[in-house]
């Protein structure tokens, strides 16, 4: 498959992961079993995931003038991601606290400089796919999509923000959401992933994808066709990076010339592999691992 170019407009966060025996009750002090620090942020994670999946990647972001911002630039350089980052003189680099209990997580986000990304700093380079999430301001995403030229515009409408997503849907070619986010955008469609994808596909230019955890993912084309990719059985350790792994691999496949079905399978394979490793960035799989899982025939 050819190597395509993915431009990602999105966030970087320094992730602080607390591994808990259980969630604390109101007013309770609870000792964590372990503390881990990882680089994170949906935009950064997805950029790295796309690069590891074989794409050429450019990252557009806003960072603080602090050590965490320096770490982001160093990380992207190591991962082969070209950075187009502005440095905010006052706001700190974003941070997320991730409460991990078994294979489930709860995330508390302090966005910091991510929310200072301006439309003027969001013009993507010539590329095949422009990928955005909702951890940066909607006007910046709208500007990036408006300047995308012939690139496919993929919106991962996460974290759930119905107002921002609704504003951006008319500019979006492919919408990518999990089941909970899909229900927030199409509450009348019920809980079935295929029905949700079909309802959302009518609001965007090409297609809507709904990821459904262990059930895999569904892609509905605007106009009717529905594609499904089941998830292979894996030993789940941490689901934190699974959605970002899916998004990055899905967009890398599209940018490289894959059709929707092949891109959907690549996304499911990458998301499944990510569940087996602790931490977002450490869990993002490389192209060879994704290809090996696809070759096993467990993602059809």
Find out whether 67 and 14 touch, Cβ atoms under 8 Å: no
Mean pLDDT, all residues of the chain: 94
With tokens 């095949």, the residue in question is 128
Element (H or E) spanning 140, and its range?
helix 138-146
Residue 267 belongs to domain spanning: 5-11+41-90+118-295
Helix (H, G, I), strand (E, B) or coil at 19: strand
**Predicted local confidence at residue 180, as pLDDT:** 93
Domain assignment present for 36? no
Sign (positive/negative) of CA torsion 281, 287, 292, 296? Answer: positive
Task: Give the per-residue pLDDT at 84.
Answer: 96
Which pLDDT tens digit goes with each residue over 272-299? 999 999 888 999 999 999 999 998 876 6
Mean pLDDT of 218-232: 93
* pLDDT at residue 17, rounded to an integer: 86
**pLDDT score at 300:** 63
* Tokens at 292, concatenated: 């090996």
Q: Indicate if the pLDDT at residue 20 is higher than 80.
A: yes
Question: Does 110 map to a domain?
Answer: no
Q: What phi-psi label fits residue 294: left (phi over 0), alpha (psi between -120 and 50 degrees) or beta?
A: alpha
Residue 232 located in a structural domain: yes
One-character DSSP codes across 257-284: T--HHHHHHHHHHHHHHHTTSSSHHHHP
* Domain of residue 219, CATH code: 3.40.1190.20
Element (DSSP H or E) covering residue 38: strand 34-40
Q: Per mean pLDDT, which of 16-25, 187-196, 238-247, 250-259 is the most reliable? A: 250-259
End-to-end alpha-carbon separation of the chain, Å? 18
Any domain includes 56: yes
Beta-sheet strand order (sheet of 104-110) = 34-40, 13-20, 94-101, 104-110
Q: How many domains does the chain have?
A: 1
Catalytic residue among 15, 128, 173, 244: 244
Residue 105, SS3?
Answer: strand
Virtual torsion, Cα 103, 237, 232, 241, nearest 10 deg: 80
Task: Confirm whether 102 is domain-assigned.
Answer: no
pLDDT at 170 over 60: yes
Q: Is residue 166 part of a domain?
A: yes
CA distance linking residue 187 with residue 79, whole number of Å: 39
**Confidence class for position 239, pLDDT limits 50, 70, 90:** confident
Give the pLDDT confidence of 96-123 residue by residue, as tens digits: 898 988 878 888 889 999 999 999 999 9
Q: Is 244 a catalytic residue?
A: yes
Inside any domain, residue 51: yes
Residue 23 is assigned to a structural domain of this protein? no
- With a threshold of 0.85, does the pTM exceed it? yes
Quick one: average pLDDT of 34-63? 96
Q: How far is CA 77 from CA 82, 200, 238, in A?
A: 7, 36, 26
Which residues make Cβ contacts (< 8 Å) with residue 89, sequence separation at least 6? 65
């Amino acid at each position: 498959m050819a190597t395509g170019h993915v431009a990602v407009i999105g966030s970087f966060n320094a992730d602080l992961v607390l591994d808990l025996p259980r969630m604390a009750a109101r007013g309770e002090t609870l000792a964590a079993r372990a503390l881990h620090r990882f680089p994170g942020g949906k935009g950064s994670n997805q950029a790295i995931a796309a690069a590891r999946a074989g794409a050429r990647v450019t990252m557009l972001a806003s960072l603080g003038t602090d050590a965490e911002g320096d770490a982001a630039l160093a990380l992207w350089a190591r991962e082969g991601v070209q950075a187009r980052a502005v440095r905010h003189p006052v706001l700190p680099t974003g941070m997320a606290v991730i409460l991990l209990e078994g294979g489930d997580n709860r995330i508390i986000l302090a966005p910091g400089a991510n929310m200072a990304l301006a439309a003027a700093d969001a013009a993507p380079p010539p590329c095949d796919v422009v990928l955005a999430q909702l951890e940066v301001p909607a006007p910046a995403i709208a500007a990036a999509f408006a300047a995308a030229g012939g690139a496919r515009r993929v919106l991962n409408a996460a974290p759930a923000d119905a107002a921002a997503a609704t504003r951006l849907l008319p500019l979006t070619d492919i919408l990518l959401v999990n089941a909970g986010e899909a229900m927030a955008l199409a509450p009348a469609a019920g809980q079935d992933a295929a029905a949700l994808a079909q309802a959302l596909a009518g609001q965007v230019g090409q297609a809507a994808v709904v990821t459904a955890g262990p059930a895999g993912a569904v892609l509905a084309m605007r106009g009717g066709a529905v594609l499904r990719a089941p998830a292979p059985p894996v030993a789940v350790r941490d689901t934190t990076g699974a959605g970002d792994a899916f998004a990055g691999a899905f967009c890398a496949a599209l940018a490289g010339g894959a059709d929707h079905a092949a891109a959907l399978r690549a996304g499911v394979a990458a998301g499944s592999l990510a569940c087996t490793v602790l931490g977002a960035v450490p869990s993002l799989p490389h192209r060879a691992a994704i290809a090996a899982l696809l070759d096993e025939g467990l993602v059809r």
